[in-house]
Amino acid sequence: MKHGRLRFLVGALLPALVLHVVFVLSPYGQAFYLSLTDWTGVAGEARFVGAGNYARLGGDSLFLDAVRNNAVMLAAVPLVTIALGLFLASMLHLGGRDGRRGIAGAGGYQIVYFFPQLLSLVVVAVLWQFVYNPTNGLLNGALRAVGLDGLTRSWLAEPALALPAVMAVLIWSSVGFYMVLFSAAIDAIPKELFEAALLDGASGWATFRSVTLPLVRDTVQVAFVYLGIAALDGFAVVQVMSVGPGGPDGATEVIGLSLYRNAFTYGKFGYASAMGVALFFATLTLALLALRAGRKERVELA
């Protein structure tokens, strides 16, 4: 009986394992190998250059600009998105005196906030291109309508404003999803905890800080990992929205865009693979650090 169950498990898992190796692990292995060559994407034997491609990354000023911009996005996009998502989710639960029952029409608000998730990032980027248009865009038009003509700008053409404008789009497109996610996490908190806080005379902020936030910490941690990965990418929005793309003057350059340009414009597939491997390890490190920090907090709480 035991051997029959073992054969069944092996027969069930082996096809999935083979598919995983062929379609997931194998491309990773090929990318790692190509990063050690000077392959140009043309059929033929690639010359092995070892760590030469990685050494070039440190002297590539455009790649360093991309690393800097991705670091700024990593610092801003997850924190702002999570803060807004938690704020909106909490506001939807302040209608009841127990601190948990949703306000009237909370479901409708969630649908409205979630709406950007129904659009692909490319569509979102195109829409926001029209919003940021310096001549007849919605943003400058609104500023002119209220007499603030002096604040109108070429939002995507000024180096100091281009990256914040792109980050604003990433945040806008993501915050609705995480608001719904945090709302579901708050709904899962036992009602008795909110009632106990209310009986103790805790204010709304004290209840959020002492009850809500600690009990949605795991959800916030997962959100940070996903948003961090999105911030280390940013390719689709930058490709569509930015001047250049990646401009002006590299102000919106990101690693994914440098990778794409080197591979499909310059034919430097080996060098582009080295960028991809560097991005892979940066993303992996971020996820491991976030998960480790979350586990450490749980151990300390225990």
Residue 201: its pLDDT value, please? Answer: 76
Residue 220: its pLDDT value, please? Answer: 93
* Pair of tokens at residue 56: 């070039």
Report the C-alpha gap between 46 and 41 in whole angstroms: 9
Residue 243: its pLDDT value, please? Answer: 85
Query: Do 155 and 161 meet the contact criterion of CB atoms below 8 Å apart?
Result: yes
pLDDT digits 0-9 by tens, 84-130: 999 988 888 765 444 445 566 677 777 888 888 888 899 999 999 99
Task: Kindly report the number of other CB atoms within 10 A of residue 193's CB atom.
Answer: 17
Residue 275: its pLDDT value, please? Answer: 96
pLDDT digits 0-9 by tens, 233-273: 999 999 999 988 888 989 999 999 999 999 999 999 999 99
* Pair of tokens at residue 161: 């404003």
Reduce the DSSP state of residue 34 to 3 states and report it.
helix
Residue 102: its pLDDT value, please? Answer: 58
Reduce the DSSP state of residue 243 to 3 states and report it.
strand
* Pair of tokens at residue 214: 């600690």
User: What's the predicted TM-score (pTM) here?
Assistant: 0.87
Helices 217-233 and 159-187: crossing angle in degrees, nearest 10, is 150
Instruction: Give phi and psi for 243, each to the nearest 5.
Output: -80, 125
Burial zone of 57 (CB within 10 Å; 0-12 exposed, 13-18 middle, 19+ buried): middle
* Average confidence (pLDDT) per 10 residues, the chain, 302 residues: 72 88 91 92 82 93 94 96 92 60 68 86 93 92 92 93 96 93 89 81 80 89 93 92 88 94 92 95 90 63 48
Task: Tell me: cis bond preceding 78? Omega within 30 of 0 counts.
Answer: no
- CATH code that applies to domain 59-301: 1.10.3720.10
